[in-house]
Chains A and B, each alone.
Chain A
Amino acid sequence: MTTLESSNKSRPATGDRPPFDVVRIRADFPALDQTVHGKPLAYLDNAASAQKPQAALDAEAECYRRFYSNVHRGVHYLSEKATDAYEEARRKVQRFVNAAREEEMVFVRGTTEGINLVASTYGKQHVGAGDEVLITTMEHHSNIVPWQLLCEEKGARLVVAPINERGEVIVEEYEKLLSERTRIVAVTHVSNALGTINPVAEMIGMAHARGVPVLIDGAQAVPHLEVDVQELGCDFYAFSSHKLFGPTGVGALYGRLDLFADMPPYQGGGEMIRSVTFEKTEFSPPPARFEAGTPDIAGAIGMGAAIDYLQALDMNAVAAHEHDLLDYATRALEAVPEVRIIGTAANKASVISFVIGDVHAHDVGTILDREGVAVRAGHHCAQPVMDRFGVPATTRASFALYNTREEVDRLVAGVERVKELFG
């Protein structure tokens, strides 16, 4: 993966890390080893959710088997062990995105909750009538709707930066839309529907030059790119565990500590308070202030283990492998008459959306499924993107580190099969 802002902080390609070996990597993911409708599974729906390495499954199960208890509460042995493991997971997540301090990492249910948290705390505090929230056309619904709700409530305006024919944000237009009423920018790092890698460092710089904070939706970026929130300079960065080869139901929100410190709580409950009387409640400092109730303890630990798994790999080699799959699949699909690839940005992650003539994506998805090839068919929770390109839906193949060229070949053979049937 070539990326402007994240690839230069290279980790050693040799040394104690074994060379990249996709066969060995596949063996770490038990779900990959199965047949679907009598064919070996080719799992190409990683942008929706990724499969899990045994190490992450074991870590979660181990928590429940050996040291499970509630966290931050008990004085007993198990509670201490569980708290240690949970807080160790927070430090893993912190190091993963290179946040300066662990208090800057809040565990949430996933990217969606991370964005909602910011919209309903920072957003409610800072966005008022006549103000603006700036997003882009390529946002996932989860980075549109929370802001739309906020704007409706406050009488503010949701402003949308356009994208070009290739599916790239038109940065000059984006810059022009940063106005004196802009209170926050929310933009995706990598588009789930198009694969576009946005020049977020540049976009953050433009916003900061006008004193506007920026939230980055990192759900699709973290499985593919090395992310350094300090280098990016973003104010908030949200991502999910489940796309990162970890368990579902958990994710993390990075927030600059000075912003977190001034933000009101997201939800009320246990864990997030310092003291409660019926007259007044004093809230805990971050991150506890934003983690009301018992968190997904085992999920966070599993997420930490998935991060350990990834970080033990040579991420440059992983990026090179995924980029090879993207190039290989792009060339192969381009060669099929009537296939139109939606999203042809110069800087792309390993996601290919396409349409085949006027065959509906759902028919394509069903036919590919019978060939054992799992893809996403639909609007990818990005209806404005579909509208922009004038298609109701696309078929999307998205590759992860464990995919192979042979699986791409099967995708292409399936596409040929679709054309035969619908010819």
Chain B
Amino acid sequence: MSELMDLYQEVILDHNKKPRNRGTLEDADHEAKGDNPLCGDQLTLYLKMDGDRVTEIRFEGRGCAISVASASLMTETITGKSQSEIAALYESFHELLTGDPSVAAEAGAELGKLRVFEGVREFPVRVKCATLAWHTLMAALEGEDASVTTE
């Protein structure tokens, strides 16, 4: 049961209930769709950039609590960050969820709030719920119209 509480931490439940940055951006420079066919999660990201910095980001879609909270927290975290900062965060986040536990524990103090997803590592089938938004973000940054799938 404690693993369950680690998975569904207050912050995650809160972001699932009241997602931040949900919606669309009419004048987005980048847009990408992601989906997770196994659970039917779907996500679209809209980004506005200034040079290589993300100035604004919105998401819409539907999914489980983990995927919605992950998208919400991701949008908060990366606003104002440069592409290389985002790539580093992505790597640390991935390490947190799937990497060697001792390494993961050290990985990136820069993850900040994103550390609430640490509990997901005990639920391997749910890892892709947490990473869907990030995969989609990387696709959005690479191309103007992209789509990714976790399968």
Contacts and interface: CB of A to CB of B under 8 A. Distances in A.
Interface of A: 359-363, 366-367, 370, 377-379, 383, 386, 392-393, 421-422
Given A370-B1, A421-B13, A360 B39 contact: yes
A406 to B, nearest CB: 20
Contact of B8 (A379, A383, A421): A421
Contacts of A361: 39, 64
A422 B62 CA distance: 16
A360 B126 contact: no
**Majority DSSP secondary structure for residues of B touching A:** mixed
Contacts of B123: 366
Contacts of B88: none
Contacts of A386: 40
B3 interface: yes
5 contacts: A370-B3, A370-B4, A392-B62, A421-B8, A422-B65
A386 B64 CA distance: 16
B80 interface: no
Given A363-B64, A363-B66, A366-B126, A379 B40 contact: yes
B40 A359 contact: no
A360 B38 contact: no
Interface of B: 1, 3-4, 7-8, 13, 38-42, 62-66, 123, 126, 129
Nearest to A377: B39
Nearest to A386: B40
A422 B39 CA distance: 19
Q: Which 3 A-B residue pairs are closest in the complex by CB-CB distance?
A: A360-B64, A362-B64, A392-B40
Given A366-B126, A386-B40, A360 B63 contact: yes
Contacts of A421: 4, 8, 13
Contact of A393 (B3, B7, B40, B126): B40
Contacts of B63: 360, 392
Contacts of A363: 8, 64-66
Contacts of A377: 39
Given A379-B40, A392-B63, A422-B65, 7 more contacts: A361-B39, A362-B129, A363-B66, A367-B4, A392-B42, A393-B40, A421-B8
A362 B126 contact: yes
A27 B54 CA distance: 60
A9 B40 CA distance: 42
A362 B39 contact: yes
Nearest to B65: A363
Nearest to B38: A378
Given A370-B1, A378-B40, A359 B65 contact: yes
Nearest to B1: A370
A359 to B, nearest CB: 7
A370 B42 CA distance: 26
Nearest to B63: A360
Nearest to A393: B40
A370 B8 CA distance: 13
Contacts of A370: 1, 3-4
A363 B63 CA distance: 10
Contact of A360 (B4, B7, B65): B65
Given A359-B65, A360-B64, A422-B13, A393 B39 contact: yes
A311 B8 CA distance: 46
B74 to A, nearest CB: 18
A406 B4 CA distance: 23
Contacts of B129: 362
Contacts of A392: 40-42, 62-63
Contacts of A379: 40
A383 B35 CA distance: 14
A423 B51 CA distance: 42
A71 to B, nearest CB: 37
Most chain A CB inside 10 Å of its own CB: which residue of B3, B40, B65, B126: B40
Nearest to A362: B64
Most chain A CB inside 10 Å of its own CB: which residue of B13, B65, B66: B65
A370 B3 CA distance: 9
A366 B120 CA distance: 11
A283 B66 CA distance: 55
Nearest to B126: A366
Contacts of B3: 370
Most chain B CB inside 10 Å of its own CB: which residue of A361, A366, A367: A366
A90 to B, nearest CB: 36
Contacts of B126: 362, 366
A369 to B, nearest CB: 9
Contacts of B1: 370
B70 to A, nearest CB: 13
Contacts of A393: 39-40
B127 to A, nearest CB: 12
A383 B42 CA distance: 14
Nearest to A364: B64
A377 B129 CA distance: 14
A379 B39 CA distance: 7
A422 B12 CA distance: 11
A360 B3 CA distance: 19
